[in-house]
Structure 1
Amino acid sequence: MKFLEKNILIVGSVWPEPNSSAAGSRMMQLIDILLASRCSITFASTSGTTDHMADLNKFHIKQYQIGINDSNFDSFLAELHPDIVIFDRFMIEEQFGWRVADTLPGTLRILNTEDLHCLRKTREYCFKKGREFTVSSLLSEDITKRELASIYRCDLSIIISEYEISLLKNVFSIKDTLLLYLPLLYTPDTINQNKEISGYDKRKNFITIGNFRHTPNWESVLHLKKKIWPFISKELPDAELHVYGAYPPPKATQLTNSKERFYIKGWTNDAHKVMSEARVCLAPLQFGAGIKGKLLDAMRCGTPSVTTTIGAEAMHGKYPWNGFITDDPQDFTKKACILYTEEHLWQNAQKAGFEIIKDRFNRTKFEDSLITAIDNALLNLKENRTLNFVGSMLSYHSLRSTKFMSRWIELKNKQAED
């Protein structure tokens, strides 16, 4: 393990909730790698604290609540004087990137994308309009222009999916020096648990899991309720479907129906436990982007899954899926029933999941690449910025237009207070 030993500020719109979402888990993975590299970390967020947020005090991370369109952030930044600022999602870079560039021009700026929001949002738009997603539809969206501009303005962007890396390089012609592929990562001690994992006979029922505030998850639950579960429940009259996830709204909890054996369970303190008790995980995602944490958790727990092409995107590489991939509701139902009832098939699927996790999401294979990429970006900061003319041009205009707009909003807010 290399040692970076830098002072890092992470700016996020929300506090990390590792038990609520893959994004929260991802942020804690990044923090853990940076701490292991002897970095000191400060986390600042524009949101209030939550019941499910990680205990950052346990990691000796300083925490600050900050405001949008507030020049106090400039003073905070100047006093902290970080070597590196990490923006969690491009909307945060839009709000605070120009302030970092203005106050500390020599500070390295990194964008943590989580997933490409433009890809997820465009797929959602196409889904709701009944249109087929194409790259041309992605090119026409304003959110694509915004997110790509943010990537260009930053010195390095962390990308979670191989598909998204390919898209950025081959469609948008973004240089390698600006991008780092870093999937969700798991330590060997969390993936080498095969002997401790329950077998087929000790498991029952189906499970799906995901933060209800994340639109792809909600649409997936509705798809299960309307088009898939009625047929599975008919074929398997003793099986139940348990739906877990943080922040279930009333419209979700009202879907519970004991006669249909469809249960909205909501928040769980131990996602690993409930996943390990289920026999099959269902994830009929209709749109989305990035890497699906729920499906990786299923693999870690030895729980085979049935998902869609979107769900499995960029996850299994050369390996067979740990179950089935299908986009047709009738075929999805059929495959789910087969996986649930055929023990030998189930066991092979479980083994496939273990192989995917060990080879493609093993932290030991990737953690040095993060530190090396940051170190190289720091060493070549001036040269890389000179060669990144598009980024320089966008920063030039952003610094002026966003700066003056933010100053104007700040002034209006102060006048309203007076």
Structure 2
Amino acid sequence: MNINSLPKQYRSRLLRETNCIHKEPIPFKTLAKLLNACPKDSVQDIHFCTTPELEKDEACEEQLRKAEYIEILKKRIPKIFESFVKYSGEFEYSLFLDLMFDEYANNAPFKEMFPEGYPAKFNFLNIDERVFKFVEQNLSIGFMFLFGTDEDHLTLVVPEEFLEIVDGTKRSMAGFHDYCKVYANLYGVCNPETVISKWNMDHVDRTLTKKQGVAAINECSLFTRYFINYGVCLCTWSVETSVAIEHIIEERKIHRPYRPTDEEFNEWLDYTDDINENLAEFKTIRDHFKRYSDKPASADFDAHCLLDDLRIGLQHPAAIIERYRLQIGFTRIDMDKITPIISAIMELNNKARLWVTYGNAPDELSSSQESCFGMKQNIAVVRSTPKVGRNDPCPCGSGLKYKKCCGKMVN
């Protein structure tokens, strides 16, 4: 698989969103030379992505010189890549090898590892988007480097040091990362023991102690784009604030955690962005955003943000609908075109596996636990949240000031 096999719009996005762009590929592919060839801002960005919390301030304040960045990264990136090889699922691992060995396919290491050729390809309905996001993530971590000046002449380079890591790292825990991502996305906020218990149930020949499992989760959090590890819990990438975490934990206390069937769990191992992404209602919302919003190019992102807002439940669904109606430009659209999307949002809120209901879909809950749209009427009241000032960032995560967002509905 070559990066140029992606549709042009995806290659354009990579070119637009990546800093590491050069007119010609450099001749030597060692990690040190690749990093030295990058502009300072690019190296700083990669360093920020792979830096422990305690060192981030130094990176942000540019107290480290470029040479020091590079020395740190030369040691850190190979170790993170080793974790990727150990814990990644079969799809990501096979995809990386396809991309990595595009230039090494005739060399001995490839022939020794895969005597029958490339591994079988995986079949996804949105494979192009999945590949694009995988490549974009690995560019940001420093597993890959992109060179070129236009969409038709992009070259993807992988450090040659990775060959030895691939050949020398055991994959006895392959797929552990995917277990983490499923439970993080199902519950929003997940106890590590939930992941470890499920893994041990499915892998009786290679069970983990709690200490080993937590260590593995920590390693996975270094390369994943799906979840964040806070030590005592792992959270889906959308749950970024303590306000959201506290709210989810408080609201779901009355519910039992949803236990996925084996069929559901296996299906969710390979989702692209969210376990609810294949619901018909979500697809309807995304299609309407593409057709009618002021910024159709960001329709997919906006649709996922709306889904996140429903799953977090900091606002009543009616307030979420109104906010997106204003934000996306639906106020200028005829009501007969708006009604289907409002209905789809209401239905999505009933059918999606919400974080505030512990992964249960409101339609599945008993009538005694349900209320309007499957949400508690007083859901916007967050007892643990400090008062928000009119000029503070809105707690909903929109990026707007409170007075220009949810504060309008209060005042």
TM exceeding 0.5: no
TM-score range, shorter chain: under 0.3
Q: TM-score, normalised by structure 1?
A: 0.27
The one of the two structures with greater contact order (alpha-carbon pairs below 8 A, sep at least 6) is 1
